[in-house]
Structure 1
Amino acid sequence: MRSHAPRGAARGIWSGSISFGLLQIPVSLIPAESRSDELHFRLLDRRDLAPVRYERVSTATGKPVEWKDIVKGYEIEKDSYVVVEPEDFAKANVKATQTIDIQDFVPRDQIDPAFFETPYFVVPQPRSMKAYVLLRDALKKRDAVAVATFVLRTREHLVAVMPGNNGALMLEVLRFGHQLKDVEDVPLPAPSSTAAPSERELAMADQLIGGMMSDWEPRKYKDRYYRDVMKVIEEKASTGATTEHHARTAGTVARDDVVDLLALLEKSVAKTGRAANETRPGPKKARATRAGGARKAAKKRRAA
């Protein structure tokens, strides 16, 4: 039975800078989600415990298809596909940059938790600690979130940078607006006078909640499914209930420049003030919808 590997230093998956006005704050991103305790299973043939592999089989011929003959297709209607080649995907690839570009600052309580997708720790470089703490504390003072964009691999992501309760800045990858259902599409019951709670009911519910209030301690909540499955596995392993299959014979260059944070902040604030005083352009005309029966008929399903 495999033992858990000793924990080492967490590794970053991206490095660059947070672009904040005229400030550039060198940072790296480390995944906040731990996958070390995930359960992983192999599919086996019960008869001889040989690992099972999947084959790519044509639904028309029932025969295996080689990788060189496989393309990706987008189904626009039943059994009708648009083939998308690698060069087509390349047209949609965003040029990679080394910056997290802050677009807006918004009140923290305005972002619904449903938009949050993947958390990362934002780790400062030693030379950028002062600017890092400055951004963190300024966000905390305003109870604000920095909404930004950055490119990871070949995909641009919408993200929120915010102070965490752990003293670090956290980056949350956000879902785009079109990725969430509108509440109007959810079959919620219509409000009615009979559904409104009475003052006494509300007071009792408040009392119940008050009696159960406690500080947030995430480690006191246990994954019982993982615990119980691992218990079964360990018991089987300790009693010798294991079987073996016997195979048949056959970056960026660092800079040490000293940055005058106050001067850059003053310039950034002045620049922001000038932009706010300029006459804003009127609303843009809606873009014409592209014609094309294929696009109109698209059901927004991607082929695997």
Structure 2
Amino acid sequence: MASTSKRVIWKGAISFGLVHIPIALHSATADQRLDFDWLDKRSMDPIGYKRINKRTGKEVQRENIVKGIAYDDGQYVVLSSEEIGAAYPKITQTIEIESFVAAADIPFVYLERPYYIAPINKAAKVYALLREALHKSGKVGIAKVVIQTKQHLALLAPVGPALVLELLRWGDEVRSWDELELPPIGSKAASLTAREMQMAEQLVAEMSQPWKAENFTDTFKEQILKLVDEKVKAGDTAEVNLVEAETADTSTAKIYDLTEMLQRSLHKGGARPAKPTRTKTGSKTAEKKTLSGKSKPAVKRKSA
């Protein structure tokens, strides 16, 4: 398991009923895939992509590029930057829970990307309250969150001592299995005998073990890294000028009184929360900012 990242990539609040929980978002995963950069073998300079007209093969300047959506074969609707900008969702710093559902009701195929959530601004108690309520009920929160101007559906779930925000795929992004030739559900419907089921269950039991992520490794990556290490030790290396990524600042959010907000939420049947007062830093009011991760490097990577 990779080490925990303490770098905060976003600050805001979880909202359910009239309760706001100030939180900080941390990446729960570390990208360990191997990326092969394109390099000019004559100078060892990084190679990027040019904007090329696919018909003429000539490079196109940025000011001559527009965005279009295909609606038929060879037919496009061109949209201006202003039209696209107007369609972006409103930027907020709130993970607003819209409902709670049974955790077992959400298929794994909808899960996309996890983030750890940690309490800030003395919100540990109300954070623990939501975590324990979810643990005891077997439920997870379903919310919407805006990340870098893109709206996401998300799942808020307790995992051990932490709350995890898991980005979900939208319903129209998951393919149906209706067109697949799948055997019917149930051993009898699938024409399985009692003996076959008994043997299969026995095999599953014999191969069962506690989950330990460290027991499973990427053998391809291990072999490549071994080869890289051997070349480094042999002095078979090349110097390349790399482009550094940038990071963005984050902001804070405010907590409401826990008991008061719980009472008001119950009395109003989970009504939408009022807007929290923004905190002040020194003499200036803290401004809302979008969730921001790493900037993409200028060097493009060649697909494997």
TM bucket by the smaller chain?
A: 0.7 to 0.9
Q: Return the alpha-carbon distance in structure 2 between the equivalents of residues 61 and 51 of structure 1.
A: 25
1:232-284 Cα deviation digits (max 9, x unpaired): 111112112224579xxxx5555576x2x334323322322899xxxxxxxxx
Q: Larger Rg: 1 or 2?
A: 1
- Superposition pairs of residues 61-72 of structure 1, within 5 angstroms: 61-72=56-67
Deviations 1:111-152 (A, max 9, x none): 001111110001101410000000000000000000011212
Q: Which residue of 2 aligns with 1:186?
A: 180
Correspondence for 1:34 = 30
In structure 2, the residue matched to 1:269 is 266
How big is each residue's C-alpha offset from its partner over 1:136-176, in whole Å with a ceiling of 9 and x where there is no partner? 000000000000112122122111101013x1000000111
Q: In the alignment, which residue of structure 2 is the partner of 1:292?
A: none
CA separation in 1, counterparts of 2:46 and 2:265? 60
Distance of 2:182 and 2:227 partners within structure 1: 41
- Sequence identity (%): 36
1:25 maps to which residue? 21
Structure 1 match to 2:104: 109
Once residues 230 and 24 of structure 1 are traced to their aligned partners in structure 2, the CA distance between those partners, rounded to angstroms, is 46
Q: Is the 8 A contact 1:14 1:152 kept in 2?
A: no
Q: Which runs of 5+ in 2 are unaligned?
A: 242-249, 273-304
- Tell me the equivalent position of 2:197: 202
| One-letter amino acid matched to 1:171 | L
Aligned to 2:236: 241
Structure possessing the higher relative contact order (Cα contacts under 8 Å, 6 or more residues apart): 2
Amino acid at match of 1:30: H
Q: Which amino acid aligns with 1:67?
A: R
* Pairing of 1:146-165 with structure 2 (within 5 A): 146-165=141-160
Distance 1:269 1:50 in 2: 62
Contact 1:94–1:155 at 8 Å: present in 2 too?
A: yes
CA contact (8 A) 1:121 1:168 kept: yes
Structure 1 unaligned blocks of 5 or more: 1-6, 276-304
Shift of 1:190: 6.2
Which residue matches 1:12? Answer: 8
TM-score w.r.t. length of structure 1: 0.78
Counterpart of 1:158 in 2: which secondary structure? strand
Is the contact made by 1:17 and 1:27 (CA closer than 8 Å) also made in structure 2?
yes
* TM-score normalised by structure 2 residue count: 0.78
Taking a change above 3 Å as real, the CA distance of residues 25 and 62 of structure 1, as seen in their structure-2 partners, is same
Aligned residue in 1 for 2:276: none
Q: Which amino acid aligns with 1:209?
A: V
